[in-house]
Amino acid sequence: MGLAILCSGGDAPGMNAAIKKFVDYLQKRGETPYLIYDGLEGLIDGRIKKAAHEDVAGILHRGGSVIRSSRSKRFYEYAYRQQAYTNLKKHGIEGLVVLGGDGSFCAMARFCGEFPVRVVGIPTTIDNDIYGTDYALGVDTALNTIRDALDKIYDTASSFNRAFVVEVMGHQSGYLTALSAIASGAEICVIPEKEFQISLAQERLKKEISQGRRYILALVAEGTGRTEEIARWIEKSLHFETRVTILGHIQRGGVPTSYDRMMAFEFAVMAVDYLLDHPTSNVVTVFYEGQFALKKIEEVANKRAPLQQKYIAMLDRLD
């Protein structure tokens, strides 16, 4: 059986670890692995290659994706999805492993509903907003990258008696921001999932300033769109010289942590086993309540995971 792997949407650390394990494990099981380059765009254009050992040798520790990724507007059109299926047939590929997020799974749910292709999705996004799983590839590495940046920002904030407002990625999810605020001891955390009450924060911080506080760290989730607003408020009302730092795409790169490599291993093996041993259904590998499992792709696609209440409760104690 020919099986292929592709990356779709934003890149995340751990993709290469999953790609390597997919190829190595499929060869061990005596089947033929294929690599699809440039995501859905590459699937449409037929950039498909039978995988050899040299294609995945030495990639385990690398960030990003050696087979690259893409977002595809063309895939919304039936003619291009049909072209993608024709390309799979040319190579005798019957199943796909897709590293991606919600948009990718929505596209695959539609694709495998139209054509006889079986799909297993592996949740891969630093946003950690995929429904039905507590974890997605790349999250641990992104959190460590953010923590390292915040530790360095704390150094300069305390040295110059300044406030720093740091914008954290996550699309419409406050997961990265919330956990980073908790882990770094930030004084302010602004996320979409929790109302930020400026009056209460101002009262608390003014009291702390009167008692000797000389710096402030505020984390703001990009999805709130409030980064500049929070910076202006701190400067005007709390009278701190304020700097804005947008961490940006450094959060999506970097050497994957040991945890992300282990998760990539588990997800990839599950995906291969399912495609080889189960003749029906299209699923997503998940890690839920401490257990690995599979969920139908229709249960996962087009939904967004809420921020767990336990993290919101921890932010309440941070305040």
Q: Which residues are catalytic?
A: 127
The answer to whether 129 and 171 have CB atoms below 8 angstroms apart is yes
Q: Counting runs of H as helices and runs of E as strands, what totals does the chain give?
A: 12, 11
Rounded to whole angstroms, how far apart are CA atoms 274 and 253?
A: 29
Rounded to whole angstroms, how far apart are CA atoms 188 and 220?
A: 8
The answer to whether 146 and 178 have CB atoms below 8 angstroms apart is no
Q: What is the DSSP letter of 77?
A: S
Q: Measure the CA angle with vertex 43, ends 37 and 46; round to 5°.
A: 85
Rounded to whole angstroms, how far apart are CA atoms 133 and 123?
A: 8
C-beta atoms surrounding 28 within 10 Å: 9
46-50 long-range contacts, Cβ below 8 Å, gap at least 24?
46/87, 46/90, 48/4, 48/87, 48/88, 48/91, 48/93, 50/91
